[in-house]
């Protein structure tokens, strides 16, 4: 399981979560290619260590534990994982 970035991030991309992540698993960062085009930020489910740092840093409360996602936001788990899937 991992944390997932959800609807409140769409169109906002508040990057304070990027700054506090100890394992650098949130992308694209503001200094990476593709940041301007991305609608939201994404957490790599394979790298996330569930430390809660991003949860408390997010001012729009977009970061949720995957196991607590409401049904309306369940698809965000796949969106986050798909960002890190090659191809």
Domain ranges for the chain, please list them: 3-83
- Per-residue confidence of the chain (87 residues) as pLDDT tens digits? 799 999 999 999 999 999 999 999 999 999 999 999 999 999 999 999 999 999 999 999 999 999 999 999 999 999 999 999 986
Tell me what pLDDT residue 64 has: 97
Query: Domain 3-83's class?
Result: alpha beta
Tell me what pLDDT residue 86 has: 82
Assigned token pair, 10: 């769409």
62-78 b/e (C-beta count within 10 Å ≥ 16 → b): bbbebeeeeeebeebbe
Task: Measure the CA–CA gap between 63 and 85, rounded to whole angstroms.
Answer: 20
């Amino acid at each position: 399981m991992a944390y997932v970035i959800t609807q409140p991030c769409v169109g906002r991309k508040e990057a304070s979560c990027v700054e506090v992540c100890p394992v650098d698993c949130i992308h694209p960062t503001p200094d990476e290619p593709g940041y301007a085009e991305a609608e939201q930020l994404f957490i790599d489910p394979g790298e996330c260590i569930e430390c809660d740092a991003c949860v408390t840093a997010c001012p729009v409360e977009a970061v949720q534990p995957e196991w607590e996602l409401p049904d309306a936001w369940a698809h965000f788990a796949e969106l986050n994982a798909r960002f890190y899937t090659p191809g």
